[in-house]
Amino acid sequence: MPDSCVPTRASLAWAGSGIAAALRLCCVLIALLLGACATVRQELPSRLSQEQTNDVTLYAISLVGTPYRHGGNSPDAGFDCSGLIGHVYRSRAAVLAPRTVALLADWGQAMAKAEARSGDLVLFYQGSTATHAGIYVGEGRFVHAPSTGGEVRLDQLASKYWSRQEVAFRRP
């Protein structure tokens, strides 16, 4: 066998380093491709701190039982749905919320239901028109002032009535 066909230590080291380099390159490329396919879930920003969000949630729940009053925006006078939202955000987070459901429908950032957290808004629609709103308090529940003759309530989105409604979520 000619000497040129017999592998030497130097030629084996060079071939080994070439294979190792190729393998490293393949691993890097695979990692980049897999990383490009992965979704990075970023939390939607909020104008509320975590402490404010907790205060909003707890205060909204504490108002359950307050009478409904069309145009109402205080615990003493009673609440309609947007008045409840405005009062809670103003008194617990010093944030001024729009006074009508139509304006609340464009307030903050829209999000998927899966991203909703306590303190977010839940809005109900008939067609393309927002008709009702409440404060999401987590675990599929929300606080709202439902209708004339009623009172502020804590309801489940999965209840028979609310589960049939078109719903959207917004982060203030």
Q: How many beta carbons lie within 10 A of that of residue 111, not counting itself? A: 16
What confidence score (pLDDT) does residue 126 get? 95
CA atoms within 13 A on the CB side of 169: 20
Per residue in 37-65, pLDDT (tens digit) is 444 445 566 788 999 999 999 999 999 99
What's this model's pTM, rounded to 2 decimal places? 0.75
If phi over 0 gives left and psi between -120 and 50 gives alpha, with beta otherwise, what is residue 97?
A: beta
Choose the catalytic residue: 5, 37, 70, 144.
Answer: 144
Choose the catalytic residue: 27, 37, 81, 87.
Answer: 81
Per residue in 88-128, pLDDT (tens digit) is 999 999 999 999 999 999 999 999 999 999 999 999 999 99
Three-state SS at 46: coil
Q: Where are the domains of the chain?
A: 3-37, 50-171
- d(CA 120, CA 124) in angstroms, rounded, equals 13
Asked about 81 being catalytic, the answer comes back as yes
Choose the catalytic residue: 5, 26, 70, 132.
Answer: 132
| Residue 166 backbone phi and psi in degrees, to 5 | -70, 130
Going by the DSSP 8-state scheme, the letter that residue 8 receives in this structure is -
| Side chain identity at residue 97, one-letter code | A
Asked about 132 being catalytic, the answer comes back as yes
Asked about 87 being catalytic, the answer comes back as no
Per residue in 143-169, pLDDT (tens digit) is 999 987 899 999 999 999 999 999 999
Domain 50-171, classified CATH 3.90.1720.10, yes or no:
yes
b/e 76-85 (16+ beta carbons within 10 angstroms → b) = eebbbbbbbb
Nearest-Å Rg of the Cα atoms of the chain is 29
Per residue in 33-42, pLDDT (tens digit) is 444 444 444 5
- d(CA 101, CA 133) in angstroms, rounded, equals 6
Q: How many beta carbons lie within 10 A of that of residue 58, not counting itself? A: 14
Element (H, E) at 78: strand 78-79
